[in-house]
């Protein structure tokens, strides 16, 4: 059974700092991995999707990397802003027809 | 608004009552997912549809839970004889079936927050 772990559970940083969020998964035979953002009381917004054959994806100030063999992914946020404050969730899929399995998320606070 | 729409946004009910939630996916998306999320946890998969066919159900989905997607459009999730442990945010997401590259981007609704008293 696939399990996804995210560390740390919560993180507080001053504005402008670069930061890294970590995600690990127990079954390395994944199909793809996604990072999502969730604001309090809201649904999820997809940030980046990495296929199993890819090593990284970039969107603006966000960069996600994937090391499938070690069962790890990182989400790098450059030059953090208060508007980045949210919970960031990592999710993996083991095949095209299996549902996403989510971690518990990292709650990020960027202090102005 | 062309996003995923969920109604109601909030539902308060007494233990033992039945509740029904509705999800309207993005037009022409053929997949629809239901997830449940409790405070401080990630979303947990409940069930999903491809068109009108329910392809998978989680063991979390007890016989008190039923989901339908008639005609492959909107979906409803019904909980019968609600229990306090059913209190959670119920999230719906829709997508296109993955393409050959494996891309399947899920679009989530804002959820229905259920409180069972």
Task: Inform me whether the C-beta atom of residue A24 falls under 8 Å from chain B C-beta atoms.
Answer: no
**Which residues, 6+ apart, have CB-to-CB distance to B1 below 8 Å?**
none
**A interface mutation test: which of B47, B54, B90, B104 has the most A CBs within 10 A?**
B104
Sort out which chain A residues have CB atoms less than 8 A from B115's CB and list them: none
B105 touches chain A (CB under 8 A): yes
Per-residue pLDDT reduced to its tens digit, B16-47: 999 999 999 999 899 999 999 999 899 999 99
pLDDT band at B62 (very low <50, low <70, confident <90, very high): confident
User: What's the average model confidence in pLDDT over B4-18?
Assistant: 97
Closest chain B residue by Cα to residue A10: B40
Chain B contact for A59, CB < 8 A?
no
- pLDDT tens-digit readout, A22-40: 999 999 999 999 999 999 8
Note the pLDDT of residue B96: 85
Contacting residues for B114 by C-beta, under 8 A, at least 6 apart = B11, B13, B19, B21, B79, B82, B86, B87, B88, B89, B90
Mean pLDDT (chain A) is 95
pLDDT at position B61 is 83
The answer to whether B96 contacts chain A (CB < 8 Å) is no
Q: Does position B7 have pLDDT exceeding 80, yes or no? A: yes
A106 touches chain B (CB under 8 A): no
Q: Is the pLDDT of residue B98 over 80?
A: no
Q: Cβ of B43 and A4 within 8 Å?
A: no
Given pLDDT bands bounded at 50, 70 and 90, which one contains residue A95? confident
pLDDT > 90 fraction of chain B, expressed in percent and rounded: 78
Residues 6+ apart with CB under 8 A from B83: B15, B64, B116
């Amino acid at each position: 059974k696939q399990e996804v772990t995210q560390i740390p559970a919560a993180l507080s940083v001053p504005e402008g700092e670069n930061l890294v969020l970590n995600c690990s998964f127990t079954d390395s035979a994944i199909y793809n991995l996604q990072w999502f953002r969730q604001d309090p009381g809201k649904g999820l917004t997809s940030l980046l999707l990495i296929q199993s054959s890819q090593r990284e994806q970039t969107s603006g100030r966000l960069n996600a990397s994937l090391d499938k063999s070690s069962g790890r992914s990182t989400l790098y946020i450059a030059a953090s802003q208060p508007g980045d404050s949210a919970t960031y969730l990592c999710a993996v899929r083991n095949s095209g027809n299996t549902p996403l399995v989510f971690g518990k998320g990292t709650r990020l606070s960027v202090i102005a | 608004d062309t996003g995923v729409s969920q109604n109601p946004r909030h539902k308060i009910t007494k233990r033992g009552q039945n509740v029904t939630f509705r999800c309207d996916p993005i037009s022409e998306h053929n997949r629809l997912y239901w997830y449940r999320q409790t405070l401080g946890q990630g979303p947990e998969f409940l069930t999903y549809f491809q068109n009108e066919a329910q392809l998978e159900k989680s063991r979390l989905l007890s016989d008190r839970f039923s989901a339908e997607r008639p005609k492959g459009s909107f979906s409803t999730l019904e909980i019968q004889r609600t229990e306090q442990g059913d209190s959670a945010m119920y999230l719906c997401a829709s997508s296109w079936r993955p393409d050959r590259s494996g891309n399947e981007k899920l679009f989530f609704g804002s959820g229905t927050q259920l409180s069972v008293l």
